[in-house]
């Protein structure tokens, strides 16, 4: 047991607990498709599903925060509130809108592949804002992570791959907005409790989505008990649970550029749920994609020798 822990410490740099929190967040995000498909089957629109995710998450957080920290945990300074406002509007509401528009323009497969460029944006911004060193190992891990995602989503079949200038724009915009969760979240996490960050980002997110999509009429149309149960689960598992883990992980001493690659385990979980729950097919190419993506997570977290870092820095 001690040998295994020692090996893990050698393999993973930084705070290992923080990296496992990010990994756990990715696992919970992987259940999104399960709830979306179930709610769609009940008759809810895409706009309503996006809205309910943030609204239910917001409602669920209130008793949790009151129980764990009392009223004082809701207090936040102006700087933190501005950061939460940016998270809520950009990385929650506008992200959902752009991703939906991308899928409508180019389909689920192409939209998903475009979204998986988010780690590239995070890597670039971590260099600019946090002065992180981008090693050859990180670049290699990013490349094979994208390759793994591509193989998993397409299964080697490019017939569902569609090109549209508008769809590509919205897809890349969604990836960029998604990447801001990590960048803005890291900036806010040093001064504000994770519960507080998530609470206010959800608040601004569902308010913005409410203005954009106006789901009130659809809700007033009436849904049964089953809808509210699944909406509650959607707000709890891949929303409150995942974001609390992710924001908690950001408070640790982690390399920001690594986090989206680690969280990309979401894709593996989503694929396995599709196979086990919805009887979706999984061919050899998709399995290879899973293996490659998991390998990219390991590679991204491998430590470089000091001499290798010095050589690379000297060559830049």
Contacts of residue 116, defined as CB under 8 A and 6 or more positions apart, other chains included, come to 145, 146, 149, 150, 153, 175, 264, 267
Whether 69 is covered by a domain: the verdict is yes
Contacts of residue 7, defined as CB under 8 A and 6 or more positions apart, other chains included, come to none
Whether 1 is covered by a domain: the verdict is no
Position 11 scores a pLDDT of: 45
Dihedral sign, CA of 133, 136, 139, 140? negative
- Count the helix, strand and coil residues of the chain and give each as a percent rounded to the nearest 5: 80, 0, 20
% of the chain surpassing 70 pLDDT:
90
Whether 6 is covered by a domain: the verdict is no
Whether 11 is covered by a domain: the verdict is no
Position 304 scores a pLDDT of: 56
Position 142 scores a pLDDT of: 95
Whether 230 is covered by a domain: the verdict is yes
Whether 191 is covered by a domain: the verdict is yes
- pLDDT of 5 > 60? The answer is no
Whether 10 is covered by a domain: the verdict is no
Which pTM was predicted?
A: 0.87
Give residue 40's domain range.
16-315
User: DSSP character for 14?
Assistant: S
pLDDT in tens, 19-76: 999 999 999 999 998 998 899 899 888 889 999 999 999 999 999 999 999 999 999 9
- pLDDT of 239 > 80? The answer is yes
Whether 101 is covered by a domain: the verdict is yes
**Total structural domains in the chain?**
1
């Amino acid at each position: 047991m001690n040998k295994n822990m020692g090996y893990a410490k050698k393999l993973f740099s930084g705070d290992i607990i923080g990296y496992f929190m990010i990994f756990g967040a990715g696992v919970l995000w992987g259940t999104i498709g399960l709830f979306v498909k179930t709610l769609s089957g009940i008759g809810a629109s895409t706009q309503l599903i996006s809205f309910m995710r943030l609204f239910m998450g917001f409602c669920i957080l209130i008793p949790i925060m009151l129980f764990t920290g009392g009223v004082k945990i809701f207090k936040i300074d102006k700087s933190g509130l501005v950061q939460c406002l940016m998270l809520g509007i950009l990385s929650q509401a506008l992200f959902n809108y752009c991703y939906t528009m991308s899928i409508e323009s180019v389909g689920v497969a192409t939209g998903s592949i475009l979204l998986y460029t988010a780690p590239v944006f995070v890597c670039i911004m971590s260099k600019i804002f946090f002065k992180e060193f981008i090693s050859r190992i990180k670049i290699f891990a990013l490349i094979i992570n994208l390759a793994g995602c591509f193989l998993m989503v397409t299964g080697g079949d490019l017939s569902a791959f569609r090109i549209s200038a508008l769809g590509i724009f919205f897809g890349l915009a969604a990836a960029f907005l998604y990447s801001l969760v990590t960048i803005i979240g890291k900036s806010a996490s040093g001064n504000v409790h994770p519960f507080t960050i998530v609470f206010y980002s959800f608040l601004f997110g569902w308010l913005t989505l409410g203005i954009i999509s106006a789901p009130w009429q659809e809700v007033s149309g009436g849904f049964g008990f089953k809808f509210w149960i699944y909406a509650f689960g959607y707000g709890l598992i891949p929303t409150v649970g995942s974001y609390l883990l992710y924001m908690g992980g950001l408070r640790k001493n982690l390399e920001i550029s690594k986090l989206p690659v680690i969280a990309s385990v979401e894709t593996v979980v989503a694929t396995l749920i599709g196979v086990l729950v919805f009887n979706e097919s999984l061919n050899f190419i998709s399995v290879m994609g899973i293996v490659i993506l998991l390998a990219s997570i390991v590679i991204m977290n491998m430590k470089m020798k000091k001499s290798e870092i010095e050589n690379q820095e000297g060559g830049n």
